[in-house]
Structure 1
Amino acid sequence: MRQPHSGEIGTELSLPPPAGGESFDDFYAANFQPLVLQLYAYTADLTQAQDSVQEAFTRAWQRWDRLTKYDNPAAWVRHVALNVARNRWRRLRAARAHARFHRQEVVAGPSPDRVALARALATLPENHRRALVLFHVADLGIGEIADQEGVAAGTVKSWLHRGRLALAAALDDSGRGERHV
């Protein structure tokens, strides 16, 4: 890991390297607050600074046996904390972009007429209902419906005729027949 040279930004706040044999607890106690101050200056958000430094110390603790051999383990922790903060900004920026272009659409509930139609369709025999849906909703022709159902075109015409009559009667019973037929 590259060590900062004198005159670089951030060297005024450099932390002393751990003394030989320093425990992680001592290292943490001596360096947490100064690192949080440095990250706070970078992020302008105290909570984010604390979270980033805490995450960096968590990673340092897992590698403590190797870090004690570094000239300046605090520089490693600072570098990791800065990366954590940068990655959080990237995720936040990506989430905002996603939210900006993928707004959830709020769809109004079904109208009373649509509810009445769905209830009336549910009362029809299955083959009549399927024929009506395929013809009027899916825009399939009589020949296409006949091929799909494996019946003659005349059978499909019969299903459509009977289905329409039954649908009209069911909608008339609900008081909505004039609007849909």
Structure 2
Amino acid sequence: MTQTPAVPLPPPEERRRLREAGALTQAQLAKRVGVSRETVRAWESGRTTPRGRRREAYAQLLLSIADRTGGQEPEEVHDMTALQHTAESTAGAPEPPPERPSERPSESRLTPAQAFDALYAFCAPALVRQTFLLTGRRELARESVERAFQHAWQRWPEVARDRDPAGWVRAAAYEFALSPWHRFRPRYRHPEPPPSDAFDRALLDVLLRLPPPQRRTLVLYDGVGLDLPETAAETEASTRAAANRLMHARTAVAARLPDLSDPAALHRRLAELASTERLRAAKPTVVRDGSERRARFWTRAAIAFTVALIGTTALTLRTAPTHYEPPVPPGSTVRGVPPRMAPGPLSEKERELREKLRKQLQSGPERLLPQVT
């Protein structure tokens, strides 16, 4: 008896990206498919896989989102089956026996550069727009994402084995974007032109007035669509602290913009604000080359510093004394010797003697010669 092949599904990371591209929260997508929000979160994290009619409805919804967004952002649209594991092509089918290393085709293996380029193409475009919501600066958003991916390329073995590489890069980009040291950089001292739409300007102004922890929590939860535990883990806070930050951020936004008191409306406006800027990320090859140049620079700087330290140490050892020289002790007072005193005024006899000596010949008195007797 043969089983009907199941509807193909993209990998978990692609599922989340397609949901974000369609401006849907996990709760909205769960309502359309007819499941709970926890089930959608499990599907996107890869813990479970949908089956039966729910799998078909879920796959059709993701396919419709991919078709709808295909004409707007061509660089973000990927083939849904390109990154799909072959084990998901059939439901309930037994897994094929593992192949020996000699029988695996070399074409199916991705090189580190190809895997990095796939992750960059998957995350970078949306991550630049999310970082713009945190900073309000277009150039800083691009630079933050590039620096995060450069750091990821330098530590690629660690990032490739991470359970959520996209979350790893997103956390690095957010940390760099929210660094307080940017205020001292000359290029970021002056504000950039605000968005053209008045409502977008008001929303961006409200976001930038929030404290950085609240702003980051709001963007992750209402913008990206993470749940509360994932938001708390990415912001390195407890679940209660993340909930308090989210509540205060929503209250501040609703006080300035009452139309955004509904979380669904806030999510939609955040997606529209990020998409209207048309921010583009650099090419992955440019990012990889920049990462390698930065690594070479710091390596040479470390070597130069080490050589200078060795030279300084050698010079110190060369010029240092080879034996101990005790310091000169301070002078001590000798008893019985009167202290030196400056000469006082001359007396009358001393002045007469001085005049007498001045009147005598400079050669002195006459010389006495001995006589022979």
Answer yes or no: same fold by TM over 0.5.
no
State the TM-score, normalizing by the size of structure 1: 0.39
State the TM-score, normalizing by the size of structure 2: 0.20
Return the index of the structure with the highest Cα Rg: 2
